[in-house]
Amino acid sequence: YAQFFDVDTSAVLTRCWAALYPRANFLDVLDGNPDLYGPIWIATTVVFILFLGGTINQYLSSTIGEQFVYDFTLLSGAAGLIYGYTLFVPIALFLALKYFGSESANLLESWALYGYSNLIWIPVALVAWSPITILNWVFVGMGFGLSITFLLRNLYPVLSATEKQVSKVLLIIMVVLHIALAISIKWLFFKKASLIGDSKKPPALANKLLF
C-alpha cells in the first residue's frame, strides 16, 4: 500500500491547486502516479467541516432559551456520505468501463479524481451554514457545478473510449449521482429554517448572530 501514498506535500498541494483551478487535464498532473493520500485527507477534512457547518447551522436555527445539544449523527452521516461516495462511485465507474471494453480505465486514477474533486466542498461547507436558505442553495450549487465540471472534463476522454451510447449513459449516471450528493449535502447539513423563509425564527436567529 505504500506506493499509493508515495507523494510529498508539495505534490499533494500541486494537485489540490490543479483541482481548484483546472487548466490542464488532471490525469496529466497525476503523471501516472495517482495517490490516495490527498483523497483520504481531503475526504476526512470535508467530513469534519460538514459536521462543523451543520452544527453551526443547527445552533443558529434553534430556539432562544433552549439547551443546544450537539448532534453527532451529523458526523457519522458526513462520514458515510463522503467516504461512501468517494470509495464506491469510482469502483462502479471502473467496473462499468472495464465491462464495456475501455482499456484506459484505472481504478486508482478514478479514486484520485473523485477524491480531489471533493476539495471544492471544503469552502462550500465553510460558508453554507448561513441561516438564509437561498444562499445555501447558491453555495451548494456552485460546489456542484465546479466539481462536476472537473470530473466531466477529466473523465470524458476515458468515457468516450467506449461506444457512443454507453458513454452518454455513463455521463448521465455520473451527473445524476453528483446531483444526489449535492442535494444530500444541502438537506442533511444545511436544511434548517431561513431568516427569510420562517417568520417564527428571525428574531431568535438575529439575536444569535448579534450576540
pLDDT digits (tens, 9 = 90+) for 2-39: 677 878 889 899 999 999 888 888 989 998 889 998 88
Quote the CA–CA distance of 97 and 106 in Å, as a whole number: 9
Choice between 36 and 130, residue whose per-residue pLDDT is larger: 36
Domain boundaries along the sequence of the chain: 2-210
Q: Among the listed ranges 23-32, 139-148, 176-185, 195-204, which one has the minimum average pLDDT value? A: 195-204
Quote the CA–CA distance of 9 and 102 in Å, as a whole number: 32
Q: Which amino acid is at 211?
A: F
Number of neighbouring beta carbons within 10 Å of residue 121: 27
Write down the pLDDT at residue 64: 62
Quote the CA–CA distance of 208 and 195 in Å, as a whole number: 12
Contacts of 60 (CB under 8 A, 6+ apart): 129, 131, 192, 205, 208, 209
Write down the pLDDT at residue 32: 87
Write down the pLDDT at residue 124: 92
Write down the pLDDT at residue 192: 62
The mean pLDDT value of the chain amounts to 85
**Phi (first) and psi of residue 111, to 5 degrees:** -60, -40
What is the chain's length?
A: 211
Write down the pLDDT at residue 193: 45
Whether 196 shows a pLDDT value over 50: the answer reads no
Whether 82 shows a pLDDT value over 90: the answer reads yes
Helices (H), the chain: 9-20, 26-30, 37-61, 73-99, 107-117, 121-127, 133-159, 164-189, 202-210
This prediction's pTM: 0.84
Whether 100 shows a pLDDT value over 50: the answer reads yes
